[in-house]
């Protein structure tokens, strides 16, 4: 309860949820002693795959006994998920004390919710100067609160695609503008660029960072992987090849994220050995990224059928998700809820050969699109129906033995599933 009261106060410090500027975060961090200048950072930017790439790095580094701090957003169930120090989430009382200390220093000055949370993370991270920090950028990056470092170990650029267009000016709602916002201010250190959805996107990234003197690694040019039939995949870069077990996470896109993580850690020369990579990729935390639900109330409704939740919510996320679905030889049923500001038709357009689609209301989010309106947007898809809730949607679907049920379209929707389950 104490933690929630503090967070409620944080949300009232600024009239806007997002106000793209670095002035407020810099001012607060200066009062805190500029903690961001005293930490070792791997920055992670992009549209899709940021959290998965961070979790792959984290898992491998833990195998090497490297202490990490991790800052990600948004959280799915608890705010504590955003604050990992010394490889563990902060407990409620520790988090409340941290928040109150930074709150006192801020003195009720205007600052957005994300900005003050980021300042809290930096302040705590400075207490662990030897740890490596894995920091996920928020919206775009150029004016994001995480973009106030003077130096870092590396910048990972994950897959970039069209998303959050409502935060761009009319006439600038393009992939080129998004790439500029995400990559034009990357620091001079190491830049590792993951596989992109199109050659044009990769070429645009290369052009945007061409004047940046960093050591640069690009997927396909400098590192790559191939999948073999005998339950392993082969990773290769300038340091040589690695025969690796298939990871514990689902989907081809996860191999892309894992390969980017490996390329980063090998480049940094921080004591990562082959055996750390081999063990680490089989222990990756995959929270609402093709996460299979194996027990709980909702799982009981689907009985022996496989239940998967995935928080993908943009076109490239849908493309990656459906690559996985197409690899399965079974009937697939999809339950979907989405936020109002997403490209709904483009998202659903990647769902091929699914047996049914059920739209639902996302009740926890006032800025979501109603399930009825979403159904209307999906009217060109076969077998679309609307149900008001997740439970009613599951009960309405005629699942046969061996069928798969996927719930997707929003991280907030995935959080609702976990809460209900």
The rounded distance, in Å, linking the Cα atoms of 387 and 358 is 7
Cross-sheet strand order for the sheet of 215-218: 88-89, 84-85, 68-71, 132-136, 40-45, 154-157, 190-193, 215-218
∠ CA 22-28-31, rounded to 5°? 135
Whether the predicted pLDDT of 364 surpasses 90:
no
pLDDT > 70 in the chain, percent? 98
pTM of the model as a whole: 0.90
In a domain, residue 75? The reply is: yes
pLDDT computed for residue 253 by the predictor? 87
In a domain, residue 344? The reply is: yes
Give the CATH number for residue 93: 3.40.1190.10
Band (161; pLDDT cuts 50, 70, 90): confident
In a domain, residue 194? The reply is: yes
pLDDT average, residue stretch 374-382: 92
Output the CA torsion 163→164→165→168 (10° steps).
-130
pLDDT computed for residue 167 by the predictor? 59
Alpha carbon separation from 7 to 32, 98, 112 (Å, rounded): 19, 12, 11
Mean pLDDT of the chain: 93
Domain identity same for 275 and 297:
no
Domain identity same for 298 and 401:
yes
pLDDT computed for residue 316 by the predictor? 84
In a domain, residue 285? The reply is: no
Domain identity same for 75 and 18:
yes
pLDDT average, residue stretch 307-335: 91
How much is the CA Rg of the chain, to the nearest whole Å?
21
Whether the predicted pLDDT of 18 surpasses 90:
no
Structure tokens given for 52: 């998965």
Among 256, 280, 304, where does a domain finish? Answer: 280
pLDDT computed for residue 228 by the predictor? 80
| Domain housing 178 | 2-280
pLDDT computed for residue 12 by the predictor? 95
Whether the predicted pLDDT of 10 surpasses 80:
yes
How many CA atoms, within 13 angstroms, populate the side-chain half-sphere of residue 359? 23
Paired with 358 in beta bridges are 335, 385
Band (175; pLDDT cuts 50, 70, 90): confident
Whether the predicted pLDDT of 166 surpasses 80:
no
Band (168; pLDDT cuts 50, 70, 90): low
The rounded distance, in Å, linking the Cα atoms of 272 and 281 is 13
The rounded distance, in Å, linking the Cα atoms of 175 and 178 is 5
């Amino acid at each position: 309860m104490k933690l929630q009261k503090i967070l409620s106060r944080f949300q009232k410090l600024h009239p806007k949820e997002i106000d793209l500027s670095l002035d407020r975060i810099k001012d607060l961090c200066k009062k805190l002693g500029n903690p961001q200048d005293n930490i070792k950072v791997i920055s992670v930017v992009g549209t899709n795959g940021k959290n998965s790439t961070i979790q792959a790095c984290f898992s491998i580094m833990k195998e090497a006994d490297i202490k990490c701090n991790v800052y990600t957003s948004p959280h799915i169930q608890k705010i504590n998920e955003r604050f990992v120090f010394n490889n563990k989430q902060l407990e409620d009382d520790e988090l409340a004390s941290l928040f109150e200390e930074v709150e006192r220093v801020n003195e009720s000055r205007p600052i957005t919710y994300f900005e003050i949370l980021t300042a809290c993370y930096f302040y705590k991270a400075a207490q662990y100067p030897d740890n490596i920090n894995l920091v996920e950028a928020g919206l775009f990056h150029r004016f994001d609160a995480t973009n106030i470092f003077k130096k870092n170990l590396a910048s990972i650029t994950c897959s970039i695609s069209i998303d959050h267009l409502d935060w761009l000016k009319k006439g600038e709602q393009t992939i080129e503008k998004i790439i500029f916002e995400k990559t034009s201010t990357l620091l001079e250190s190491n830049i590792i660029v993951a596989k992109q959805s199109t050659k044009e996107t990769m070429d645009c990234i290369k052009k945007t960072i061409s004047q940046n003197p960093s050591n640069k690694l690009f997927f396909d040019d400098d590192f790559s992987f191939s999948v073999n039939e005998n339950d392993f995949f082969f990773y290769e870069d300038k340091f040589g090849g690695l025969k690796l077990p298939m990871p514990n996470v689902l989907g081809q896109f996860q191999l892309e994220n894992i390969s980017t993580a490996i390329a980063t850690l090998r480049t940094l020369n921080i004591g990562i050995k082959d055996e750390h990579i081999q063990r680490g990729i089989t222990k990756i935390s995959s929270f609402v990224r093709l996460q299979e639900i194996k027990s709980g109330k909702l799982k009981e409704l689907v009985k022996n059928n496989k239940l998967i939740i995935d928080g993908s919510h943009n076109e490239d996320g849908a493309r990656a998700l459906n690559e996985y679905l197409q690899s399965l030889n079974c009937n697939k049923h999809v339950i979907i809820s989405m936020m109002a500001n997403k490209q709904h038709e483009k998202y659903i357009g990647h769902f091929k050969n699914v047996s049914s689609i059920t739209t639902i209301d996302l009740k926890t989010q006032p800025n979501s699109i109603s399930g009825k309106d979403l159904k209307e947007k999906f009217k060109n898809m076969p077998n679309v129906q609307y149900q008001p809730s997740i439970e009613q949607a599951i009960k309405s679907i005629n699942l046969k033995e061996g069928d798969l049920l996927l719930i997707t379209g929003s991280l907030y929707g995935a959080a609702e599933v976990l809460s209900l389950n």
